[in-house]
Structure 1
Amino acid sequence: MSTVLTGIGIGRGVAIAPAHLLLPAPEPPADEPAAANADAAIETVRSAFATVSTQLSEAAANAAEPLSSVLEATAMMALDPTLSDDAASRIRDGVGPVTAAAAAVEGVATQLEALGGYMAERATDLRGIRGRVVATLLGEDASSSAALATRSIVVADDLAPAQTSTLDLDLVAAIVLSAGGPTGHTAIIARQLGIPCVVQAVGALEVAEGTPLAVDAASGRVVVDPSAEQIADLQSSVDREAALAADTAPGATSDGHPVQLLANVGTEEDARRAAPTAEGVGLFRTEVLFLDQATAPDAQTQTALYAGVLEQFPGHKVVVRTLDAGADKPLAFLSQADEDNPALGIRGYRLVRTAEALIQEQIEALAAASRAVPGTELWAMTPMIATPAEAADFARRARAAGVATVGVMVEVPAAALKAADILAEVDFVSLGTNDLAQYTMASDRLRGELSDLLSIWQPAVLELVATTARAGLDAGKPVGVCGESAGDPLMALVLTGLGITSLSMAASALPAVRYAVRHHTREQCERIASAALSARTAEEAQRAAAGLVADDVRTVLGL
């Protein structure tokens, strides 16, 4: 009899295929003896770290984005002398070399988990390095369990980039993790590549190798050994998703009210992949160029990268977010004081307080890229704005450099509450609903067990979105949403009803959102939004909105 596992779905895809379980990474031998020659053992361990780094760099060169950038960053982590030096110290203290290497990596991973936020996310990456180093020292093949002979659904506890690199992604029908989180690297990669994924699927590791699985990412369900009837239902979903993807018309309600449907990208490859279905870019994450770099990229390098993305969207707008780094997304080339609460520290535009030249150079590089690709509209915005004064400062710098259209992110409750004053300083704003929910609900966005609090359906979060949208309507200026909530077809109707003018999301989410918006009038969207705003709980808000969705849309999208 079929059983159903539930978790957090990433995207809307559906997949039916046999399970392929990734074996746990190898462990050091129990009671490993001390090395007979400590110096020789230390050199062997250092060589193992270097070998793993080289393997990951080679994998990055052969991988598509966003996996390529993540792998390159992980390769640099493997070369961090802190790891090999710690292992060397342990070896000299009499710890066996394999045990010492594993303990050194695990010690740093545990520290990162304690910091939370982006740093906790990197703990999984480090443990991927740990597994490879241990395998190298033991003379084992770290990728043997990842070999796929046929199209399969990959099942694991968690999936580090190092493990992902060993998979033939063309044969990965879906990914099911018993752990992980909706904003971890696996989820990001799956979302960008359109691979159905379910994380925090408790019980997934109890599935036997080769067991047929049916994954429905939209509902976060994994059916173990599905019946013929269940397979037929899911195959119908596959066919419907393919039909939705064939429609690439501009976003608009059924009565012609325009709602721009844009893509979130981080690289030129992302932009190239999104161009056929998106009307432009609503969030270009420029920090991909900066994170884990040993030195700051110069203005020429930045300009070339930005121009490469702009060239993918001639005649359309590309909204570029300036560097969202610092504090919980540290820059190797920028020395920052340790912070007890990095999510509330020097990040985003706040870097202008400690690294003004870095921010100024990026602004000038964006202006140069805009001049180099005149057929595309570059809209520049900056993250982590809390006051109108900060917005005015960024606007002054950007306009002086030659950026024509300037905006800011609304991710902090203070910015939403003062949206009218902020819009008096800039040309547009864009809501980052992931961080807005985190800061409003005082909940770490990487903690999956707090996902109910992090929902944009929470009444307090919805009210802040509505406040910002009203300020935009009053000012006659665009207000977009570029958080993952924009990719939820039901929430897209609410946002449209609130007066949001553009929705930006992973390219794989565009077809379903386009269908939902185009099958409702603006007035219907406004009624749906009003019902959601009137609810007292997140669950009530979602039910109230879903209850007003057109029957045919509910059927097609499974709402």
Structure 2
Amino acid sequence: MAHTSLSGTPVVPGLALGPVLRARTEVDPDAIAAYEGPDSAEDALAAFDEAVTAVAEGFGARAGKASGAAAEVLTASAGLARDKGLRSTVRKNLNGGEPLLKAVNESVEFFAGLFAQQGGLMAERVTDLRDINKRLVAHLVGEPEPGVPTPEVASVLVAEDLAPSDTAGLDPELVVALVTEKGGSTSHTAIIARQLGIPCLVGVSDALSVAPGTRVLVDGTAGTMEIEPDESDAEARVARDAEEREALARWTGPAATADGVPVKLLANVADAESARKAAEAPVEGVGLFRTELSFLSTKDEPTAEQQADVYAGVLTPFAAASGDEGRYVVVRTLDAGSDKPIAYATKDHEENPALGVRGLRLSFDNPGLLDRQLDGIQQAASATGVETWVMAPMVATVAEAQAFAEQVRERGLKPGVMVEIPSAAILAHQLLEVVDFLSIGTNDLTQYTMAADRMATDLTHLTDAWQPAVLHLIAITAEAGKQAGKPVGVCGEAAADPLLAPALVGMGITSLSMATAAVRPVGARLGQVTMDACEDAAEAALAAPDPTSAREAVRKVLGL
């Protein structure tokens, strides 16, 4: 190796030392070459259906053992494997005389091309599609599915890219860090790495040029992977980092700056299990309950009563902890569409679903969809006695926010909207005249502000919440909250960044919602700095010309 260090985009902070472990991403080419396949198109389609069932059930089994983001992506992958459009295209190719493996490969690449052209969140599914293709081929030729091998010692997993199905089942005791050449800071892999709490870098050019077994030191704060570092120095640095993490693990909240200014730390949850885990953490409630994740595999729309049962499962853990003053749950209405299709809600074959009918827009032509969901939320709130706030995703105008707020208030609940579209940030002052709170979804806000696909590796520097344009939109929204005297939170992945958190608080953000694993590092960091330091960090970040300079400026201000 000519390099002694490689750089990428830091996703999860921390230090980890270990040998490089490569993901097994391909099926044995000899097995593929030897495969002849069924003679008839009918038998070939039957073999394809059997492979689909095996792959989808594999995803489903792993989803059943997971929770939160891991369960979400595995369930979505199971649905993608069973997609009727994929099967129809395979059948068409088989009837055209193509052999089975070619029919499958060409069908997957057809949809991969469509997804890539559509951009946004749909482009992120290309990795999932190709992962499914490899698993289908493996079943057809009688080989094991590709994936991450189980290491014998604690290792650093390095790959070109990782499908969510690979990262969702990782053991953080054996895989101590993730490094990928592709992917962005808001990709599914990055989100799951945060949930696992292991250092992670994405967009690391030439990462695969490092030979398996090579000792590397991954710095998830600085964004570097040092190759064959000085062993004693590296071990000492990792030991210090472990001590700091152990100290963070003892942090019990509630969150406040060093001079006593309170900051609400909340959890992002997807289901009852992740809510139970969150309720045991030092959080003051839930800042984002992603309701759509409960219905990704649901064919028919559940009734309001059926939805109420699901929502109550998430609210109940916080009712049990009702002795904690001020704990509440923020429920997001269906954020379906784009990469999260729901059979009973989303439209098929949109030309650009990332900019299409998703989120609140689903209710424009189907108002009953929102009515029934709000009824279910109201029933769950009444049954559990938990303070419940409700927010709508993909709000672009004040009129949309006002109409939504009226429906929520009719049910005795507190209304808010998400700030994910730049227009919402620009109109934050007017939005707060009609709603009671705002929540900034930094993942989509960054993507829409910078016009950059999350999965475009060569645009990773743009899909970074530290981008000056994104930070300025956050500051505009926070200032609107201060002037209106209403809460403004951040529930995107940026909230989980212990370095960015003080700057966000300095801008006027009143709550930060994140994966439960990120709560203690963020809370402990806030407790080390004063509010004046947070405001200085905000000014330094907003004055910086680029994300790297912003990070360096904030580190300097905070003395890190």
Tell me the TM-score normalised to structure 2 length.
Answer: 0.90
Q: Over residues 334-359 of structure 1, what are the superposed CA-to-partner deviations in whole Å (9 max), with x where a residue is unaligned?
A: 35264433333222112221221111
Secondary structure of 1:310's partner? helix
Show the counterpart of 1:9: 10
Show the counterpart of 2:262: 258
Show the counterpart of 1:468: 477
Secondary structure of 1:378's partner? strand
Q: CA deviation at 1:21?
A: 1.4
Show the counterpart of 2:284: 279
Q: Would you say 1:116 and 2:116 are equivalent positions? A: no
Between stretches 441-450 and 417-426, larger displacement belongs to 441-450
Show the counterpart of 1:309: 314
Show the counterpart of 1:390: 400
Q: Would you say 1:141 and 2:125 are equivalent positions? A: no
User: Kindly tell me: are residues 233 and 475 of structure 1, through their superposed partners in 2, closer, same or farther at Cα, counting changes over 3 Å?
Assistant: same
Secondary structure of 1:146's partner? coil
Q: Over residues 12-50 of structure 1, what are the superposed CA-to-partner deviations in whole Å (9 max), with x where a residue is unaligned?
A: 233223322122221574597685444333322222222
Q: Distance in 1 between matches of 2:177 and 2:146?
A: 18
Show the counterpart of 1:399: 409
Show the counterpart of 1:367: 378
Show the counterpart of 1:529: 538
Q: Is the 8 A contact 1:9 1:198 kept in 2?
A: yes
**Aligned equivalent of 2:505, options 496, 503, 507:** 496
Show the counterpart of 2:162: 159
Q: CA deviation at 1:540?
A: 4.5
| Paired amino acid for 1:318 | V
| Paired amino acid for 1:188 | I
User: Kindly tell me: are residues 419 and 244 of structure 1, through their superposed partners in 2, closer, same or farther at Cα, counting changes over 3 Å?
Assistant: same
Between stretches 46-55 and 164-173, larger displacement belongs to 164-173
Between stretches 256-265 and 9-18, larger displacement belongs to 9-18
Q: CA deviation at 1:127?
A: 1.4
**Aligned equivalent of 1:378, options 382, 388, 396:** 388
Q: Is the 8 A contact 1:294 1:333 kept in 2?
A: yes
Between stretches 495-504 and 26-35, larger displacement belongs to 26-35
Q: Distance in 2 between matches of 1:169 and 1:206?
A: 24
Q: Over residues 258-300 of structure 1, what are the superposed CA-to-partner deviations in whole Å (9 max), with x where a residue is unaligned?
A: 1111222222222233332322221222221133432223323
User: Kindly tell me: are residues 88 and 424 of structure 1, through their superposed partners in 2, closer, same or farther at Cα, counting changes over 3 Å?
Assistant: closer
Q: Is the 8 A contact 2:120 2:447 kept in 1?
A: no
Q: Would you say 1:67 and 2:77 are equivalent positions? A: no
User: Kindly tell me: are residues 265 and 218 of structure 1, through their superposed partners in 2, closer, same or farther at Cα, counting changes over 3 Å?
Assistant: farther
Percentage identity across paired residues of the two chains: 44
Q: Which has the higher contact order (CA 8 A, sep 6+)?
A: 2
User: Kindly tell me: are residues 498 and 357 of structure 1, through their superposed partners in 2, closer, same or farther at Cα, counting changes over 3 Å?
Assistant: same
Q: Would you say 1:245 and 2:249 are equivalent positions? A: yes
Between stretches 21-30 and 256-265, larger displacement belongs to 21-30
Q: Over residues 279-325 of structure 1, what are the superposed CA-to-partner deviations in whole Å (9 max), with x where a residue is unaligned?
A: 22212222211334322233233222222222223331211211112
Secondary structure of 2:13's partner? coil
Secondary structure of 1:528's partner? helix
Q: Distance in 2 between matches of 1:265 and 1:241?
A: 23
Between stretches 461-470 and 169-178, larger displacement belongs to 169-178
Q: Distance in 2 between matches of 1:548 and 1:435?
A: 28
Q: CA deviation at 1:217?
A: 2.0
Q: Over residues 474-508 of structure 1, what are the superposed CA-to-partner deviations in whole Å (9 max), with x where a residue is unaligned?
A: 21111111122222233222222222111122223
Secondary structure of 2:257's partner? coil
User: Kindly tell me: are residues 57 and 485 of structure 1, through their superposed partners in 2, closer, same or farther at Cα, counting changes over 3 Å?
Assistant: closer
RMSD: 2.6
**Aligned equivalent of 1:418, options 427, 440, 444:** 427
Q: Over residues 215-270 of structure 1, what are the superposed CA-to-partner deviations in whole Å (9 max), with x where a residue is unaligned?
A: 22222222333322122112211221121121122111122111111222222222
**Aligned equivalent of 2:366, options 336, 349, 355:** 355
Between stretches 322-331 and 28-37, larger displacement belongs to 28-37
Show the counterpart of 1:288: 293
Secondary structure of 2:5's partner? strand
Q: Is the 8 A contact 2:17 2:234 kept in 1?
A: no
Q: Is the 8 A contact 1:7 1:200 kept in 2?
A: yes
| Paired amino acid for 1:238 | A
Q: Distance in 1 between matches of 2:525 and 2:47?
A: 58
Q: How many residues align?
A: 549
Q: Distance in 1 between matches of 2:260 and 2:376?
A: 37
Q: Is the 8 A contact 2:154 2:174 kept in 1?
A: yes
**Aligned equivalent of 1:215, options 214, 218, 222:** 218
Secondary structure of 1:40's partner? helix
| Paired amino acid for 2:175 | V
Q: Distance in 1 between matches of 2:422 and 2:396?
A: 8
Secondary structure of 2:410's partner? helix
Q: Over residues 402-432 of structure 1, what are the superposed CA-to-partner deviations in whole Å (9 max), with x where a residue is unaligned?
A: 31x2211122222222222211111111122
Structure 1 unaligned residues grouped into runs of 5+? 555-559
Q: Is the 8 A contact 1:174 1:196 kept in 2?
A: yes
Show the counterpart of 2:456: 447
Q: Over residues 192-227 of structure 1, what are the superposed CA-to-partner deviations in whole Å (9 max), with x where a residue is unaligned?
A: 222332222222223333333332222222233332
Q: CA deviation at 1:134?
A: 0.7
Show the counterpart of 1:330: 341
Q: Distance in 2 between matches of 1:317 and 1:183?
A: 26
**Aligned equivalent of 1:191, options 180, 191, 194:** 194
Show the counterpart of 1:557: none
Secondary structure of 2:105's partner? helix
Q: Distance in 2 between matches of 1:435 and 1:69?
A: 18
Q: Distance in 1 between matches of 2:467 and 2:179?
A: 27
Q: Distance in 2 between matches of 1:184 and 1:521?
A: 32
| Paired amino acid for 2:184 | G
Secondary structure of 2:205's partner? coil
User: Kindly tell me: are residues 278 and 470 of structure 1, through their superposed partners in 2, closer, same or farther at Cα, counting changes over 3 Å?
Assistant: same
Q: Is the 8 A contact 2:186 2:443 kept in 1?
A: no
**Aligned equivalent of 1:101, options 96, 101, 104:** 104
| Paired amino acid for 1:485 | A
Q: Is the 8 A contact 2:184 2:457 kept in 1?
A: yes
Structure 2 unaligned residues grouped into runs of 5+? none
Q: Distance in 2 between matches of 1:274 and 1:136?
A: 38
Secondary structure of 1:489's partner? coil
Q: Would you say 1:235 and 2:246 are equivalent positions? A: no
Q: CA deviation at 1:144?
A: 7.6
Q: Is the 8 A contact 2:183 2:454 kept in 1?
A: no
Q: CA deviation at 1:388?
A: 1.9
Q: Distance in 1 between matches of 2:448 and 2:95?
A: 46
**Aligned equivalent of 1:49, options 31, 40, 52:** 52
Q: Is the 8 A contact 2:315 2:384 kept in 1?
A: yes
Secondary structure of 1:159's partner? coil
